[in-house]
Structure 1
Amino acid sequence: MKTALTIAGSDCSGGAGIQADLKTMIANGVYGMSAITALTAQNTTGVQGIFEVTPEFLEQQIGSVFTDIRPDAVKIGMVSSTGLIKSIAKKLCEYQAENIVVDPVMVATSGAKLISDDAIDTLKESLFPLAAVLTPNIPEAEVLSGMEIKSADDMITAAKWISETYHCAVLCKGGHQLNDANDLLYRDGGYRWFNGKRIHNSNTHGTGCTLSSAIASNLAKGYDLDTAVERAKAYISGALGAMLDLGKGSGPMDHGFDFRGKGFAEERV
């Protein structure tokens, strides 16, 4: 069985972060492992608290994974401090990790910045050059490129700049009222659009975590990047299309929409 490691924060409500990543990995046919960067108290209405681990303990977690069950791919999610970012880069270089997917979580859905300028600089210097692909949304691509993105052409320009600057592929995600459900993959001087169908579901908690984990899972299984993105988008569409409705805010997706375990179909009726 192929394996994948997620390095991210924990979401106690289960819709995003480590919990979403592990659900996504098992649904996409790989064995998932985790190194937790922070515990969060959060739910569908927002984040109530964050408790970071130490850089030393994060390094211990990553080392424990790599020295026993080596991951075929690594997904990196929210890492908010410079020390943790440096620790991740150090260990990934030490173990020569492959198929690294970086979801540069910088801007909340509300527009609030989630990471300091120092930490953003460290991300750019330490982690981006290790990545097979970055998966920024529109606000994050604006932060990384230093330009406003108001059109599909702007997405191409920003993705080109990010890709050429950090020497990795970039999947610039649509949404945020621009080019909804259509994502742009830019790499090696060329680009490709991945068109998705618009699903009218306001419960989108954890979509970014889920997409990046699905891409990592498919890279772990040996698919090329284009195919991994295609398969990840199909999975997201299914998870959103299941129309799960939990919580008082923007709820989670149904990560297990395609599971058919004993009694599952009857319970869903």
Structure 2
Amino acid sequence: MDPISAVSEELAEIDGQISDIFRALSNGFQKLEKIKDVIRQSRQLEELTGKMRDCKRLIKEFDREVKDVESRNDPNTNKMLSEKKQSMIKELNSYVALKKQYATNLENNKRVDLFEGPGEEFGEDNVLLSSSMTNQQLMDNGNHMMDETDQAIERSKKVVHDTIDVGTETAAALKAQTEQMSRIVNELDSIHFSIKKASQLVKEIGRQVATDKCIMAMLFLIVIGVLVIIIVKLVNPNNKDIRDIPGLAPPAMNRRLLWIAN
């Protein structure tokens, strides 16, 4: 029976996972030695780096579990677990160092590919070709290269000029849009002022209508009162409580007759 299993099943499970990762790392680095393509080497190295991160996480879990069960274990068992953890760390560090070595070699290979690419062979061919040319041919070749350079410069100038034209047109369009927005804002202000003025006029008209209604009501009451007085006077001419209203007084002749009779 595995001594770690006798201590804790969780420790045994973590130990098994770490052992599986170590085997995968060993096989992965052996496979990496046989790969010649730089891109495939980089991908394989990234995969191995991920496995090493998982292994580091599991070793931390193993250490936490060891500390949890340390109080109920005897000294020999705790020593065995500590040595097992140190062995795991040592083996992981060896794979980390191997990974750094492969990463350095891979970076150097990339730099070599950059400096020893097709351009260098092309340059060597140019050197050999130049050595076999006459002075006139060299001058013609140089003039041809200068013409191509001038054409490239002219194309660049045209691109810059077109870019400036596009920028100028864009600025003009933005300026026109800004002016249009300013006019719209001014029109909105005018509309707002007109609406406010119209609201004030409506309020004034409302107050005038209310005043006119009060005047009409007062005139109506006055007319009603006059009509009532006229009706009462016609019905009872001798009523002394109601004063004579112009136009309704008895004829002057009747008054003189009454005075003579008295």
Q: TM-score, normalised by structure 2?
A: 0.15
Q: Which has the higher contact order (CA 8 A, sep 6+)?
A: 1
Which has the higher Rg, Structure 1 or Structure 2?
2
Query: Which structure's residues are more often strand, by fraction?
Result: 1
